[in-house]
Amino acid sequence: MAILAVLSAAFFFPAPPGLLATLAAPTTETLSAVQLARGRWALLFVVVPGCPACEEAILWLGQAANVFPKIRFALVAPEITAELALLTNVAAPWVRIVLDRGGALGGTFGVRRAPTVILLVEGTPAGRLDWPFSEQDLSAAFASSLLEETVYDLVGVPAPDFVTHDLEGTEVRASELSRPLLLVFFNPGCPPCWEVLPGLAEISREVAVAVLAFVLETGLSPADRGRLEGFVQAVQGYPRLVLLIRNVEIMRTYGVTKMPSYILIGRKGVVIWVSDGPKSVGDLQEAVRAALAEGK
């Protein structure tokens, strides 16, 4: 409780302008399976008050959130107490607080005591720290979780170039394609991938679309080739392409682990939006329009 005592004392000193906003009660959230399956997460399971180690770990997490901007941080607690709110507002105001009443989320990851840290990369457990651990242990675990590239790491960086072939066997270099460009990683053996194809045809009215179909050495079946050729034969809007990927290297370069995955490349060749999983036409259009507007 020593840390809370110090912070509480600081709380009651006259606050400079703007500090009161920082100390406002935080907004609690829930985390869905979809959210946790995207990008990198560090979940710190705590109980405050009554757990001095939790208080210390929260301070460390607040520092780490500044050092590791590619990781999303969350404090997970069975109850949001006044003490926890105060400690978080002062020590880690940019870390979200997640209410896990009943311990369902903790149970998913087998959390038995607090503090415990669970690291996720694209929804897959990538590390775990059970108390006792040090601030150095925590930093090392966060750094290690960054070694595995994910598709979400691409936002804000130039799109990696690659060379492949279209349906006719013509060599195509990605950097020479029209911009803006929506790359869609596609598996012909994945029914949800086919379900998004009509939506991609609609999206091509606003942005060029290149479907990157992962195929084996035997190539496409006649039926699959016919469906993809029909997609390419656009008469309106921006170009539509189907490019064939015969090895996983391009997927590794882009950090793609799920299909369909979407990578939107802006007019300057920089990735401005990514997502994965099936999307409705409306959701896809809305996301693409918003990303293009922000990228101007």
- How many CB atoms lie under 10 A from the CB of residue 152? 18
pLDDT score, position 147 = 66
pLDDT score, position 148 = 67
**Amino acid (1-letter code) at residue 191:** P
Beta bridge partners of 209: 182, 240
Domains of the chain in sequence order: 24-148 (3.40.30.10), 153-294 (3.40.30.10)
Instruction: Give 113-150 pLDDT, tens digit per residue.
Output: 999 999 988 777 888 999 999 998 998 888 877 766 67
Alpha-carbon dihedral 182, 183, 185, 191, rounded to 10 degrees: 30
Segments of the chain with pLDDT less than 50: 1-26
pLDDT score, position 295 = 63
CA angle, 210 then 213 then 218, to 5°: 145
